[in-house]
Amino acid sequence: MKIVIMGCGRVGAQLASLLDADGHKTTVLDVDAHSFRRLPPSFGGTALVGDGTDEEMLRKAGIGEADAFVAVTQGDNRNVMAAQIAKHVFNVSKVLCRIYDPLRKDVYEALGLEAVSPTTVFAQLLRDKLLTE
């Protein structure tokens, strides 16, 4: 699969290296080149400095041929905007985005965007851990 990831923070970098190790063609975008230090030396994909809410930049990252797009920057709204561009402008078949705010996540899920809220997931995980011990 060809996958474009926006945001090379801890999650983005980790995801990129996992996918790369699985043999997928992976491109990571970040506005700060310094973020790419998080990628392991073995990373064989592409790291591009640029803004994923910019159509031109997404095109450069090969979004036109991508099978999937993942938005995991720190900003909920940036993720939402980039994911919608990937879905509605470039018709990428699989689009995932991170939305920290659970209520905002619900709104966008209702609008057809596939979103994950780490807040909800992590809170549930903690609760389960607390209650099973």
Partner 1 sequence: MYIIIVGGGSVGYHLCKALLKEGHEVLVLDKDATKCENFEDELGSVCVRGDGCEVATLAEAGVSRAEVFIAATDEDEDNLVACQIAKHKFGVPRTIARVNDPKDEEIFRKLGVDCPISVTNLILEHIEEKIPTHPLIHLLTMGEEKIEIVEVKILEGSKSVGKSVKELSLPADSILALLIRNGQRPQVPTADTILEVDDRIIALTTAESEEALQEKLASY
Binding mask 23-52 for partner 1 (x = CB under 8 A): ------------------------------
Q: Residue 88: CB partners within 8 Å, gap ≥ 6?
A: none
Q: Name which of residues 50 to 79 contact partner 1 (CB under 8 A).
A: 53-56, 75-78
Q: Which range, of 22-30, 42-50, 106-114, 123-131, touches partner 1 by CB under 8 A?
A: 106-114
For partner 1, the binding residue among 24, 101, 116, 119 (CB under 8 A) is 101
Q: 94 by DSSP, 3-state: which?
A: strand
AA identity, residue 88: H
The minimum distance between CB 38 and partner 1, in angstroms, equals: 23
**Interface with partner 1, residue 92, by CB under 8 A:** no
- Which residue blocks in 22-98 are alpha helix, DSSP H? 55-60, 76-84
With CB under 8 A as the contact rule, which of the stretches 25-33, 37-45, 61-69, 82-90 interacts with partner 1? Answer: 82-90
Can you tell me the distance from the alpha carbon of 99 to that of 3, in angstroms, rounded to the nearest whole number?
Answer: 19
Instruction: Give the DSSP H/E element, type plus range, for residue 73.
Output: none
Tokens coding 27: 């491109």
The Cα–Cα gap between 105 and 81 comes to 13
Residue 52 CB, shortest distance to partner 1, in Å, is: 10
Dihedral-angle region of residue 91 (phi above 0 means left; psi in -120 to 50 means alpha; beta otherwise): left
Measured from the CB atom, is 1 or 89 closer to partner 1? Answer: 89
Residues contributing to the site for partner 1 (CB under 8 A): 53-56, 75-78, 80-81, 84-85, 88-89, 101, 103-104, 106-107, 110-111
